[in-house]
């Protein structure tokens, strides 16, 4: 089994409905994502998952010098950012890609699949 | 022992795809498979010229390579626990989870043609691992520097290992979708064999044969897929003319081939497939190309060719694939139907100045129009752009005939 990071990418600027369009559509996406999470748990793929606050709430810390340097905002200023992620444990890439497609459909965003180089 | 080494090289290249595929299944790692195959080759070069080629050279190579791979894994197990863990993901139970196809080479083919890999990497990996071409030959075929091709292949292999691209034929439900990529790669492997690049044999029958063999297996597994039938028909009708296509190291164009040298058995089989495709009536790219080749192989002599039918089929293909290469092939048929003046106008507006076949078509049309000086220039450009020795010989002969 291999661990894969599934990151959801979407626009950095979001409106009050998280760019889902309307309250109803946002609630539908949340429900679909919840159902997908339940399925990941039931099928044994689940490791961890979560949605993230907007990138504007991020802080970059550089602790390599004598005193840590803090910078407000995300590491990269981009129009598209990571909005949430899953960590799954899957037997191979085909399974990971299939789950990513289901997750993408559920949360209504593009999903990047990237294997872990081992876990600590 | 130069002759001995050449004999080993020939066997090795014939056996390469099968050897790598079985090693990948056994050890679950492409790098280990390639390295072990390379060591088995060196062992064969050392032993065979003296002790004679073994009765089952493929079996000898597989056993020797397998032993070398086990030796390497033992060494690495001792010094690298992490690699050991990686190697535990190997297919020890090859009969489970393997989908409907049991051929090692087909599994490797679906791995090499996986949609998570870049399209150019799929073709390169297939030619390297199943066709046994060197990185240099593949780089030459794709007109990129060798270092670029080496990086492309290395990167793809690294992704297969790190992301765990499975070594497996897809389940029946996913098979049709994954098929398009595999067909494209098989066609390209066939073409590399049919008009080989490099200074070696102008036709590499082991590549055309391998592409045909794998397509036959696909056809048995997916009898309902019209495009598989179409590709097989196309390959058979092309392969049928292979023997007549080179004479004295020189390419013989379709119109000048000795049709008695065509393989009638393959032609009959190809025509049957084309008829089957027509009955299914779900036309696709390979089926149309097969139908075009059916028209050619149906004509007792070149002058009997039904060129209006060929042009009509290219019109149909253009609707599916409006690429300049299809337009070029259509123009070559138009030259036979409406003459070289009309055809040259079509050819001249195509953005294909880097493509040898464009220069070949122009040279031929200019020659027929009596525009000798321009024809000579075009032949020179075609000779410079072609990478096939037999085609170069033919073009040089045509160039020499112009006065």
Task: Name the residue facing A93 among B82, B165, B170 (closest C-beta).
Answer: B165
> What is the reported pLDDT for B357?
94
Strand order in the sheet with A110-115: A46-51, A80-90, A2-11, A110-115
Give the position of tokens 């014939």. Answer: B14
Nearest to B214 by CA among B262, B239, B182, B242: B182
Range(s) of the domain holding residue A103: 2-86+96-112
Contacts of B82 in chain A (CB under 8 A): 118
> What is the reported pLDDT for B86?
52
Are B116 and A2 an interchain contact pair (Cβ–Cβ within 8 Å)?
A: no
Query: Do A33 and A106 meet the contact criterion of CB atoms below 8 Å apart?
Result: yes
Mutate which of A3, A45, A92, A98 to test chain B, going by most B C-beta atoms within 10 A? A92
> CB contact, 8 Å: B172 with chain A?
no
Indicate whether B97 pLDDT > 50: no
> What is the reported pLDDT for B26?
92
Residue A55 within a domain: yes
Residue A68 within a domain: yes
As for how many domains chain A has, the answer is 1
> CB contact, 8 Å: B165 with chain A?
yes
> What is the reported pLDDT for A106?
96
Give the other-Cβ count within 10 Å of A106's Cβ: 21
Question: What tokens were used for A120?
Answer: 């600590």
Residue of A nearest to B163 (CA): A115
Bridge partner residues of A59 (DSSP): A72
Task: Name the residue facing B163 among A91, A115, A118 (closest C-beta).
Answer: A115
Report all structural domains of chain B as residue ranges with CATH numbers, in order of start. 2-87 (no CATH), 319-403 (1.25.40.10)
Residue of A nearest to B162 (CA): A115
Nearest to A108 by CA among A27, A42, A47: A27
> What is the reported pLDDT for B96?
40
For B195-210, write each residue's pLDDT tens digit: 877 666 788 787 788 7
Provide mean pLDDT across the span A95-99.
97
CA dist B168 → A91, B36, B107, B173, B307 (Å): 12, 21, 5, 14, 44
pLDDT, chain B, mean: 88
> CB contact, 8 Å: A118 with chain B?
yes
> What is the reported pLDDT for A95?
96
pTM: 0.74
Give the other-Cβ count within 10 Å of A79's Cβ: 8
For A14-29, write each residue's pLDDT tens digit: 778 877 888 999 999 9
More confident residue, B158 or B131: B158
> What is the reported pLDDT for B132?
82
Contacts of B116 in chain A (CB under 8 A): 93, 97
> CB contact, 8 Å: B170 with chain A?
yes
Residue A57 within a domain: yes
Residue A107 within a domain: yes
- The strand ranges marked E within B303-400 are none
Residue A91 within a domain: no
- State the smallest CA–CA distance between residue B274 and chain A in angstroms: 34
Provide mean pLDDT across the span B74-102.
55
- CA–CA distance, B249 with A100 (Å, rounded to integer): 53
CB pairs under 8 A between A and B: 28
Provide mean pLDDT across the span B345-358.
94
Residue A106 within a domain: yes
Residue A40 within a domain: yes
- State the smallest CA–CA distance between residue B176 and chain A in angstroms: 15
> What is the reported pLDDT for B183?
94
Task: Name the residue facing A92 among B82, B164, B174 (closest C-beta).
Answer: B164
Q: What CATH number does residue A101 fall under?
A: 3.30.70.1060
pLDDT-derived band at B76, boundaries 50, 70, 90:
confident
Residue A120 within a domain: no
> CB contact, 8 Å: A66 with chain B?
no
Provide mean pLDDT across the span B132-148.
82
């Amino acid at each position: 089994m291999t661990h894969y990071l599934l990151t959801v990418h979407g626009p950095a600027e979001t409106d009050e409905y998280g760019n889902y369009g309307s309250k109803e559509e946002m609630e539908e996406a949340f429900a679909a994502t919840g159902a997908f999470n339940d399925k990941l748990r039931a099928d044994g793929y689940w490791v961890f998952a979560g949605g993230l606050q907007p990138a504007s709430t991020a802080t970059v810390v550089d602790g390599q010098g004598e005193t840590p340097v803090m910078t407000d905002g995300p590491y990269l200023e981009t129009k598209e950012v990571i909005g949430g992620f899953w960590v799954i444990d899957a037997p191979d890439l085909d399974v990971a890609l299939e789950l990513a497609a289901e997750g993408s459909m559920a949360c209504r965003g593009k999903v990047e699949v990237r294997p872990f180089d081992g876990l600590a | 022992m130069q002759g001995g080494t050449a004999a080993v090289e020939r066997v090795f290249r014939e056996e390469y795809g099968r050897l790598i595929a079985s090693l990948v299944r056994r050890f679950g790692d492409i790098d280990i498979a390639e390295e072990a195959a390379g060591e088995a080759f060196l062992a064969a070069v050392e032993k065979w010229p003296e002790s004679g080629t073994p009765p089952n050279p493929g079996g000898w190579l597989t056993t020797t390579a397998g032993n070398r791979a086990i030796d390497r894994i033992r060494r690495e197990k001792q010094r690298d626990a992490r690699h050991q863990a990686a190697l535990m993901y190997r297919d020890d139970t090859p009969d489970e989870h393997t989908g409907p196809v049991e051929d090692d080479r087909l599994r490797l083919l679906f791995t090499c043609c996986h949609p998570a890999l870049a399209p150019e990497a799929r073709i390169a990996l297939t030619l390297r691992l199943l066709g046994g071409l060197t990185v240099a030959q593949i780089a030459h075929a794709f007109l990129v520097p060798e270092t670029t091709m080496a990086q492309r292949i290395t990167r793809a292999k690294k992704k297969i290992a790190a992301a765990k691209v499975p070594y497996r034929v897809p389940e029946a439900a996913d098979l049709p979708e994954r098929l398009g990529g595999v067909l494209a790669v098989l066609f390209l492997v066939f073409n590399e064999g049919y008009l080989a690049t490099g200074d070696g044999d102008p036709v590499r029958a082991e590549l055309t044969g391998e592409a045909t063999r794998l397509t036959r297996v696909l056809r048995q597994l997916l009898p309902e897929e019209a495009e598989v039938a179409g590709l097989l028909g196309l390959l058979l009708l092309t392969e049928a003319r292979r023997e007549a296509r080179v004479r004295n190291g020189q390419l013989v164009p379709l119109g000048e081939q000795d049709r008695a040298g065509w393989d009638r058995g393959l032609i009959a089989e190809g025509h049957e497939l084309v008829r089957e495709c027509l009955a299914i009536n779900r036309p696709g790219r390979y089926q149309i190309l097969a139908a075009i080749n059916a028209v050619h192989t149906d004509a007792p002599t070149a002058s009997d060719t039904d060129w209006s039918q060929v042009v009509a089929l290219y019109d149909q293909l253009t609707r599916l694939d409006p690429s300049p290469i299809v337009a070029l092939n259509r123009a070559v048929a138009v030259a036979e139907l409406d003459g070289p003046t009309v055809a040259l106008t079509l050819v001249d507006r195509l953005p294909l100045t880097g493509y040898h076949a464009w220069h070949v078509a122009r040279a031929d049309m200019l020659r027929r129009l009596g525009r000798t000086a321009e024809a000579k220039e075009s032949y020179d450009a075609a000779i410079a752009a072609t990478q096939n020795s037999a085609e170069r010989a033919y073009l040089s002969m045509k160039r020499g005939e112009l006065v």
